[in-house]
Amino acid sequence: MKISVIQPDISWENKSRNYQKLSGLISPLFNKTDIVILPEMFNTGFSMNPEQLSEPPDGETFKWMKSIAEEGNFGLCGSYIVIENKNFFNRWVFVSRENDVWHYDKRHLFSMGNEDKLFSAGKSRLIFTFRGVRISPYICYDLRFPVWGRNREESDLIIYAANWPESRLSVWNILLRARAIENQCYVAGSNRTGTDGEGIRYCGDSLIINPRGEIISSAGTDSECSVSVEISLTELSVFRKKFPVLNDADDFTIKI
């Protein structure tokens, strides 16, 4: 499978401009990749203005994603603000040309930014299969909580969509590599660049990491771009059999 990560400078609370910008970054990947990964709140930036920016599950952003995925012949994913049953969610959505639709609601809401006061937390993990690869998605702050993302040999690829500030960039890099090592999975992290409407600076460093914790593709810092790489389930299987760490993992139960 070929996966691609998009690293944009997100225009603050301007959906139409972000659709246009992202379309330009994504279109060179049409018919050349299997999955395109966008950052957290890719259509607005990390805004705490859900009353004005939220959409129903089948709203304009979902329709835009579906159109791009169908034209590009790939799965397209990222998070944006959704309202459902009068609750706001930071929701990661996956759509594909095959009409696959999956979603995951951010579990760990960023309390230092008051996200927990405005949004409802997700209550379940998501693991699904697309084109033969088992995928588990998470959103930004979830990265700091390894128990929630623990792989019990259910996943081949873990995805993190983020708006991760430049001031904590080294943490982003370290934790992504740690999640790959401890879970013996491929890990893809999509982050943004630029400065948001709150004056918070981001510099990207979107990464794709192999199960050994080695960076196999990097978008670097401060540039709008995409990076792509082939991941191999055969190589993953061989590595897990040769070094079967997950066989010795502790059992546990997560209580919501």
Find the catalytic residue in 40, 55, 115, 224.
40
Residue with tokens 């004056």: 199
Q: What is the rounded distance in angstroms from the CA atom of residue 94 to the CA atom of residue 104?
A: 9
CA-CA-CA-CA dihedral for 128, 131, 133, 137, to nearest 10? -40
**The dihedral formed by the CA atoms of 211, 216, 221 and 224, expressed in degrees to the nearest 10:** -110
Token reading at 242: 């040769």
Active site residue 77: no
The verdict on whether 106 is a catalytic residue reads yes
Alpha-helical (H) ranges within the chain are 15-26, 50-53, 60-72, 115-118, 169-183, 233-242
Residue from 77, 140, 185, 203 carrying the catalytic annotation? 140
Single out the catalytic residue among 66, 106, 185, 224: 106
The secondary structure of 76-127 as a DSSP string is EEEEEEEEETTEEEEEEEEEETT--EEEEE-SS--GGGTHHHHSPPP-----
Catalytic residues: 40, 106, 140
